[in-house]
């Protein structure tokens, strides 16, 4: 039987998806699904998770149900599947009751191989009746981390999935996929979905095409304008932590004549849909949004993701940053850090999950976990080591401490002795009774006349003003270094307090010398990785214009026709006929039939 599968999966890969080889992990996951085994795929954005369940869905007898919380993903993926000749549909809140019943009826008549559904739709009586009377070969849980209360996007509606499966007359194969899952979340997925000895594939989290940078600008908006000026006509996302900031940044960019739109939960559903479509269909090149936008967005030509504010955790950051460069082309992920970001996130954590009906004790545990994650996110922003290595180590991947494609790896550092400064800081924390946060420690050391400092008589302690001659920025850098290297610790509370660790006491007693890396003034200009193959930009722009024209005509996002990576491969291979066009990565028989004539004509005319 597996011999037949071997032949089928290769044919399906090329005919429906336009590829000749599988990416890392895809084939093993597909083979295990076809053998009837439950699977978990932990694969970064852009690693091809969707194909791992879409390909076997075409080979299994029966229908595959994909449960996803992402309305936008359902629409995009169904459009892409249909464009590739795969019969698919979705059921979510955007459909009327009549439209939902129509999809169910079509499914009963054998019209679909893949149906996407929101978890809330599993409760519909007609849908359950359909599922109980038709053969569901597989249930796929996408964004599976949402089922865990320890995941960064816990959704109580996901807890309905298992009870739905238990109501089916025959248990289907269960496959679960996520881009970000710690070992704790992975175990939760296995337990809650009741997976039976699942095959687990974690392909690693590294995205080599992504360039990472942390900036600490005095004026964040000026930093954004500078970046956009150097990256004209590129499509990207700017993430902000609050709706208010989204509005401000979007209004300012509109005033400055940028092609921009916005997205957050405070907008009407009609406006959110319109704005999202404007971005997806390339009518607007820049999206300014809260984290309500992007989960499941399959837009392949996002060249940059700027974080105007620091996210609450590494999981969210990597997931949001990973929306850049989905097709494997070079892209930039830049985080603009400011101290206020920590305070904002502490507030957001304090109000998180208040309406999820969690047990108060569990709720407090979740918040404590969130504060620990925030601390690790903050440490990322202050790390002087390889940023990629920091992220990969967080997820349990081993990584060399030099990637050559992040701002720290491109910075000239020098070592300075901070022994005396560290002793003063540690002594100050001790004399303050370990009762205050970083800001108060720094203000005391620098001899601040701030109202709070004077109110609590902190100007009377011996360490007051000891570092008055050092700039606040440098004092903060040293404090952050001491936290990163565990000489100081921050409490997991809404307003973190600085505490001494045994390492701090040892340093004072044993006279340990400390050195710290600081950036030299002659920081090199960052030049992110370039595409491996040279691309004729003039031809690429011709093909991109053709793609846009066809997308407008067919009312689909441009990437549904071809990704940027596929256009680049066309530029490289310069196909002259149908057979050569089929050799382009991302071109299958359906795409050849639908678009081959126009693209071949454009290439031939160019030459």
Residue bearing tokens 């970046």:
227
Phi-psi category of residue 555: left, alpha or beta, with phi > 0 → left and psi -120 to 50 → alpha: left
Q: What pLDDT shows up at residue 500?
A: 94
**Fold classified for 210-394:** Rossmann fold (3.40.50)
**DSSP code of residue 358:** -
Residue that the structure tokens 């401490």 belong to:
401
DSSP category for residue 429: H
Q: Which two tokens stand for residue 118?
A: 């929101």
pLDDT value for 502: 92
Chain center to CA of 108: 36
User: CATH 1.10.10.10 in the chain, residues?
Assistant: 413-519
Which two structure tokens, joined as six digits, stand for 313? Answer: 């955790």
d(CA 514, CA 441): 20
| Region of 294 on the Ramachandran plot (φ > 0 left; ψ -120 to 50 alpha; else beta) | left
Report the SS3 class of residue 155: coil
What are the mean pLDDT values of the chain's consecutive 10-residue runs (607 residues total)? 58 88 92 95 84 94 90 81 91 89 91 92 89 93 86 78 93 92 86 94 88 95 95 92 95 96 91 90 93 74 95 91 88 94 86 64 80 91 92 86 92 89 94 94 94 92 94 91 90 84 87 84 48 70 90 84 88 91 89 91 87
- At the topology level of CATH, where does 537-606 sit? DNA polymerase; domain 1 (1.10.150)
What dotted CATH number matches 2-202? 3.40.50.300
State how far the Cα of 148 lies from the Cα of 184, in Å rounded to an integer: 9
Dist CA 345 CA 240 (whole Å) = 11
Specify the CATH number of the domain 413-519: 1.10.10.10
Q: CATH 1.10.150.80 region(s) of the chain?
A: 537-606
**Alpha carbon separation from 312 to 240, 291, 371, 501 (Å, rounded):** 12, 10, 8, 25
Query: What is the DSSP-derived secondary structure letter of residue 492?
Result: S
At residue 180, the pLDDT reads 75
Question: Which residue intervals of the chain bear CATH 3.40.50.300?
Answer: 2-202, 210-394
CB 324 within 8 A of CB 208: no
Count of H-run helices and E-run strands, the chain:
25, 17
Take residue 333 and report the two structure tokens written for it: 């992920």
Query: What is the structure's pLDDT at 354?
Result: 53
* Residue 521: predicted pLDDT: 58
CB contact at 8 A, 103 and 31:
no
* pLDDT confidence of residue 353: 59
Res 4: pLDDT: 45
Q: pLDDT for 151-184, tens place per residue?
A: 667 788 888 899 999 999 999 999 999 987 778 8
CA distances from 78 to 49, 276, 368, 426 (A): 15, 17, 39, 58
- Residue 221, both tokens: 């908006």
The pLDDT value recorded for residue 599 is 92
Q: What tokens were used for 568?
A: 């680049």
CA 351 → CA 64, 162, 397, 425, 430, distances in Å? 37, 28, 32, 33, 32
């Amino acid at each position: 039987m597996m011999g037949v599968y071997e032949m089928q999966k290769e044919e399906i890969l090329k005919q429906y998806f336009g590829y000749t080889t599988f990416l890392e992990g895809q084939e093993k996951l597909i083979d295990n699904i076809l053998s009837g085994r439950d699977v978990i795929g932990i694969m970064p954005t852009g690693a091809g998770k969707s194909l791992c369940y879409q390909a076997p869905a075409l080979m299994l007898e029966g229908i595959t149900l994909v449960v996803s919380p992402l309305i936008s993903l359902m629409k995009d993926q169904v459009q892409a599947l249909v464009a590739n000749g795969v019969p698919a549909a979705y059921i979510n809140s955007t459909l009327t009751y009549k439209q939902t019943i129509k999809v169910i009826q079509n499914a009963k008549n054998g019209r679909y191989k893949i149906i996407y559904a929101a978890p809330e739709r599993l409760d519909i009586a007609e849908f359950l009746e359909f599922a109980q009377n038709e053969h569901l070969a597989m249930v796929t849980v996408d964004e599976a981390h949402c089922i865990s209360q320890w995941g960064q996007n816990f959704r109580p509606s996901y807890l309905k999935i298992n009870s739905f499966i238990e109501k089916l007359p025959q248990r289907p194969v269960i496959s679960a996929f996520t881009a970000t899952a710690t070992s704790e979340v992975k175990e939760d997925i296995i337990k809650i979905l009741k997976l039976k000895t699942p095959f687990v594939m974690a392909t690693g989290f590294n995205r080599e095409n992504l360039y990472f940078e942390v900036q600490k600008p005095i004026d964040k908006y000026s930093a954004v304008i500078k970046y956009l000026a150097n990256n004209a006509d590129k499509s990207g996302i700017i993430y902000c932590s609050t709706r208010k900031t989204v509005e401000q940044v979007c209004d300012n960019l509109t005033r400055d004549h940028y092609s921009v739109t916005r997205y957050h939960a405070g907008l009407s559903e009609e406006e959110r849909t319109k704005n999202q479509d404007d971005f997806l269909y390339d009518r607007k090149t820049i999206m300014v949004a809260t984290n309500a936008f992007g989960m499941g967005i399959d837009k392949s030509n996002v060249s940059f993701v700027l974080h105007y504010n620091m996210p609450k955790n590494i999981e969210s950051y990597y997931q949001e940053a990973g929306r850049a460069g989905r097709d494997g082309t070079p892209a930039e992920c830049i985080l603009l850090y400011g101290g206020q970001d920590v305070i904002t996130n502490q507030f957001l954590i304090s109000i998180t999950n208040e309406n999820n009906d969690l047990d108060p004790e569990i709720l407090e545990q979740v918040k404590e976990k969130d504060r620990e994650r925030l601390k690790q996110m903050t440490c990322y922003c202050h790390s002087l080591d390889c940023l990629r290595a920091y992220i990969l180590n967080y997820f349990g991947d081993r990584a060399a401490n030099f990637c050559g494609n992040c701002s720290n790896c491109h910075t000239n550092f020098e070592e300075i002795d901070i022994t005396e400064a560290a002793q003063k800081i540690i002594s100050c924390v001790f004399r303050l009774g370990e009762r205050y946060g970083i800001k108060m420690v720094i203000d005391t050391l620098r001899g601040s006349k701030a109202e709070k400092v004077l109110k609590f008589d902190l100007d009377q302690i011996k360490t007051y003003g000891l570092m008055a001659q050092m700039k606040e920025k440098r004092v903060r850098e040293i404090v952050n270094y001491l936290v990163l290297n565990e000489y100081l610790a921050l409490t997991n509370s809404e307003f973190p307090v600085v505490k001494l660790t045994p390492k701090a006491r040892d340093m004072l007693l044993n006279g340990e010398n400390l050195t710290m890396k600081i950036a030299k003034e002659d920081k090199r200009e960052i030049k992110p990785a370039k595409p491996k193959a040279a691309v004729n930009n003039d031809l690429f722009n011709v093909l991109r214009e053709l793609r846009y024209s066809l997308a407008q005509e067919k009312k689909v996002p441009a990437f549904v026709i071809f990704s940027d990576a596929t256009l680049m491969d066309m530029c490289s291979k310069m196909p002259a006929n149908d057979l050569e066009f089929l050799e382009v990565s991302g071109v299958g028989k359906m795409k050849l039939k639908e678009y081959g004539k126009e693209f071949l004509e454009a290439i031939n005319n160019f030459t």
